[in-house]
Amino acid sequence: ATDNNAHALLQFSTGPIPKGAKLVQADLKVFLKSVAIAQAQRSVSAHRITRSWPDNTTWGSPWTSKGGDYVPNPEATLSNLSSVAAGLPYILPVTGLVDSWVNKSVPNHGMLLRTVGMSNAQFVSSDSDAADVSRRPVLTATYYPACT
C-alpha cells in the first residue's frame, strides 16, 4: 500500500459467527512487512470494498475505479502513527463493518487498507509470505450468542 498507488485487499469469512449473535467487538490485526519511506503525518485506514474480486486482482481490474471500488469514508483509521517499522502490528477496530456483514446489511466483499504518508508499505499476507502464522492478518470477533 502506497498512499494512492497501491492498496492491500483482505477478505475474511464471518461464517463462524452464529446467526443472531450480538457482535461486541471486531478487530483487524495486520503486520507491516516493510516500508520504504514514512512521512511525518502517517495513517492506515480500512475501507469496505463494494464489489467482489478474484485472487488475481490488479490495480485496474476488475474495478470500475483504479485502485479498487470501496467506500471512501473509512471504517477505521489509525492516525498520527508515531512509529512505522517492519514487524509492527496495527490493530484497527472494524466492529461496525463486521456487524454489517454478519447481519447481511451489506455484502462481505472484504476490506481495503489504504495508507497515507508511507511509501511502498507492504503488509504481511496470508500466503507463503508469512511463514510465521502469528504474523498473518487476523480478524478477531467477540460476540454473545443469540438467546434461544
Q: Cite the DSSP H helix spans in the chain.
A: 95-102
Q: What integer pLDDT is reported at residue 117 of this predicted model?
A: 67
pLDDT (0 to 100) of residue 119: 58
pTM: 0.85
Q: Give pLDDT, residue 58.
A: 86
- Rounded to the nearest integer, the mean pLDDT of the chain is 82
What pLDDT shows up at residue 86? 64
How do residues 44-90 score in pLDDT, each as one tens digit? 889 999 999 998 888 888 999 888 999 999 999 887 665 556 677 88
Cα-based angle 37, 55, 58 (whole degrees, multiple of 5): 50
Close Cβ partners of 69 (under 8 Å, ≥ 6 residues apart): 49, 50, 51, 63
Beta-sheet strands, E only, within the chain: 8-10, 22-34, 37-48, 76-78, 89-93, 111-119, 122-123, 138-144
**What is residue 35's predicted lDDT score, i.e. its pLDDT?**
61
Parallel, antiparallel or unpaired: strands 138-144 and 37-48: unpaired
CA distances from 48 to 33, 37, 87 (A): 22, 26, 25
pLDDT in tens, 5-31: 678 899 999 999 988 899 999 999 988
pLDDT tens per residue across span 77-115: 887 665 556 677 888 999 999 999 999 999 999 999 887
* Maximal CA-CA distance, the chain: 53
Nearest to 97, CA basis, from 108, 86, 82: 108
